[in-house]
Amino acid sequence: MKWDSLRILLKIAAMKKSVVKFFDVKTAYLNGILNEELYMEPPKGYELRSNKVFKINKSIYGLPQSGRCWYNKFSEILAQAGLKKLKSDPSVYTKRAGKEFIHIGMIL
């Protein structure tokens, strides 16, 4: 999320005296879904009988794609819940619920 977007969301919350919640998804990067075949060498100290590699089935820490995989998965969940992505900041989602608004910002 852009810093300007965060400041705007906090300003709106302060003006409307809204509740602001922050949370951390502890294993976010481990929940992404890879859309490509990737392989890796075994970790140091792991003994193999022959020259083999491991196929990576899900995103893992240290993998450059892991952040994008998590973003895509969480974006899909938010879209299914009816939230719309802002054009000005693709990490901010909003939904109108009657006279109220729900705003969610993602920081990876």
Residues in the chain: 108
Phi, psi for 98 (deg, rounded to 5): 70, -120
Span 39-66, pLDDT tens digits: 988 888 888 777 788 899 889 888 989 9
**Strand, helix or coil at 55?**
strand
Q: What is the mean pLDDT of residues 81-95?
A: 95
Q: How confident is the model at residue 14 (pLDDT cuts 50, 70, 90)?
A: very high
Residue 103's beta-bridge partner residues?
A: 94
Which has the closest alpha carbon to 73: 105, 25, 33, 30? 33
DSSP letters for 74-101: HHHHHHHTT-EE-SS-TTEEEEEETTEE
- The secondary structure of residue 41, as a DSSP letter, is P
- pTM score, two decimals? 0.77
pLDDT at 79 over 90: yes
